[in-house]
Amino acid sequence: MLWSAFILGLLGSFHCVGMCGPIAFMLPVDRTNSFRKITQIFTYHFGRLLAYSIIGLFFGLVGKSLYIFGFQQQLSIVIGVLMIIVVLIPVPTFNRYNFSKPVYNIVSKVKSSLGKALKKKTADTFLTIGFLNGFLPCGLVYMAVFASLAMQSTTQGSLYMVLFGLGTIPLMTTAIYIGKFLNIKAKQRIQKAIPVFVIIIGLLFIIRGLGLDIPYLSPAPITEIATGQIECH
């Protein structure tokens, strides 16, 4: 299922350009030195990947704990259902209930720090901007977080988020170089394709959790058989 992270990031990067594009456009890159500009952009992306990896590490740890207690398959089904439900819920409904209110204070602090970093041109500026950018609330990041929660280890959870971040790099880098390059119709078509792909990923997680004994897709549940025999050494 790790492959789905990169594709989600790649398709979702069209959404990322709309949400995080203004930050990318405002990056204080050196436009007179091509090598320095590339290095600065790479550092910015590295900061984002670092933030994503930390998020994936945390949720991967939660997923690992549930795996140890035998809840991994049930969790996979629940996450698949949640991904589908979140995509199908109309945006006005989300806005009405405003699920992000509890984290408003944290987000405002991140935005404030991000604004200060954008005004600087020190060596760590781009790493800081990328790192803070990675913690900004985003619907597609939430989808990737759901998926990382269903991983069986902290490493896989972190790797899932890193692969998601890598998928966003090509288009985000292009946005930094040439700005707004897609017409409105193309953006609308891609935006419509993103929920469909998220639903497909959700269905894959549900199938995975059902334990249908399908290699690589839905492995059979591992059950340990206890016996009454006592082995003496």
Domain ranges of the chain: 3-210
The beta strands (E) that lie in the chain are given as none
pLDDT tens per residue, range 46-56: 999 999 999 99
pLDDT tens per residue, range 55-106: 999 998 888 887 767 777 788 888 888 888 877 877 666 556 555 555 555 6
Q: How far is CA 181 from the centre of its chain?
A: 24
- pTM of the predicted structure, to 2 decimals: 0.72
Integer angstrom CA distances of residue 209 from 45, 136, 220: 33, 30, 9
**Average pLDDT taken over every residue of the chain:** 76
The beta strands (E) that lie in 74-155 are given as none
| Burial of residue 131, with CB atoms counted within 10 A of its CB: 0-12 exposed, 13-18 middle, 19 or more buried | buried
pLDDT tens per residue, range 143-197: 888 888 888 788 999 999 999 999 988 888 877 666 555 566 666 676 677 788 7
Query: Who contacts 69 (Cβ-Cβ below 8 Å, separation ≥6)?
Result: none
